[in-house]
Amino acid sequence: MERRKFVVGLGSVAAGGAAAMGSGAFTSVTSKRTASVQTVNDGEAYLGLKEIPKSPNESYVDYGDDGHLRIRMDGDNPTDGGGKGVNSDSKTVFKDLFKIVNQGKQKIHLFVFLIGPHAKRVGLFTDSYKPCYGLKLGVGDSVNVGLLTSTHGLKADQQLLNNIYIAAIGEENPEDGDYEGAAKEFVPEDAVANNELPSE
């Protein structure tokens, strides 16, 4: 209590002194401060994108030379048995492809967006088969992500997907609480929201 009175009193004295001596405006100030920001691979980042060890589907996921996690279900990553992609005119499900981990300092809201000629034929889902869209992860929390494709009516040799965007919005960032709107600001306009899974 006494300290608070002292601080307020000191401020009053300082203000009076400035008035008596004129304005103390300066022309310029340059201050050096320490800042350290570095890039890391996806597994070590604040938004951790990690492989799931011992998952039966782990061979479809790896890290590129840039340290970015990638999903590869094509001829560049054939299986030991010679498989090079998903069946046409079918529905295919891959559980536990990778996991998303909140390695930051606050709760986050996750939104996944897809880009590709048949992006609406692909869906990323959680263990409970819900779309990866609008999920909340506390600090240290994680969610396993699977992938579903629906290729009914499509012939062979069709490219379904080119890119996946994962937007993580901090709990305290949008003042109006519009996490979805904030996420959409960071993805291309042609990105498809992963807010529902392919039905057929």
130-186 pLDDT, tens digit per residue, is 999 999 999 999 999 999 999 999 999 999 999 999 999 999 888 889 999 999 999
pTM of the model: 0.82
Domain assignment present for residue 177? The answer is yes
Average pLDDT for residues 101-118, to the nearest whole number? 96
Residue 150 in any domain: the answer is yes
At 11, the pLDDT band (50, 70, 90 cuts) reads: very low
Residue 118, pLDDT score = 96
From the CB of residue 131, how many other CB atoms can be counted at a distance below 10 Å?
Answer: 18
Query: Is 103 inside a domain boundary?
Result: yes
Residue 145 · residue 166 · CB < 8 Å: no
C-alpha distances out from residue 42 to 20, 33, 94, 140, Å: 59, 28, 21, 15
Structure tokens at 9: 């009193």
Q: Which range of residues forms the domain containing residue 128?
A: 47-193
Let me know if residue 102 belongs to a domain.
Answer: yes
Is position 119 within any domain?
Answer: yes
**H helices, E strands: number in the chain:** 2, 10
Q: How many distinct structural domains can be found in the chain?
A: 1
Is the per-residue pLDDT at 5 higher than 90? no
Task: Flag whether 165 is in a domain.
Answer: yes
pLDDT in tens, 23-38: 667 778 888 888 888 8
pLDDT of amino acid 29? 86
- The torsion defined by the Cα of 18, 19, 21 and 23, in degrees rounded to 10, comes to 70
Give the pLDDT confidence score for residue 23 in this predicted structure: 61
pLDDT band at 6 (very low <50, low <70, confident <90, very high): very low
Among residues 160, 153, 161, which one has the least CA distance to residue 90?
Answer: 153
Cβ-based burial of 113 (10 A; exposed 0-12, middle 13-18, buried ≥19): buried
- For residue 90, the domain's CATH number is 2.60.40
pLDDT(2) > 50: no
The pLDDT mean for the chain works out to: 88
Q: What is the pLDDT of residues 56-91, one digit of tens each?
A: 999 999 999 999 999 999 999 999 999 999 999 999
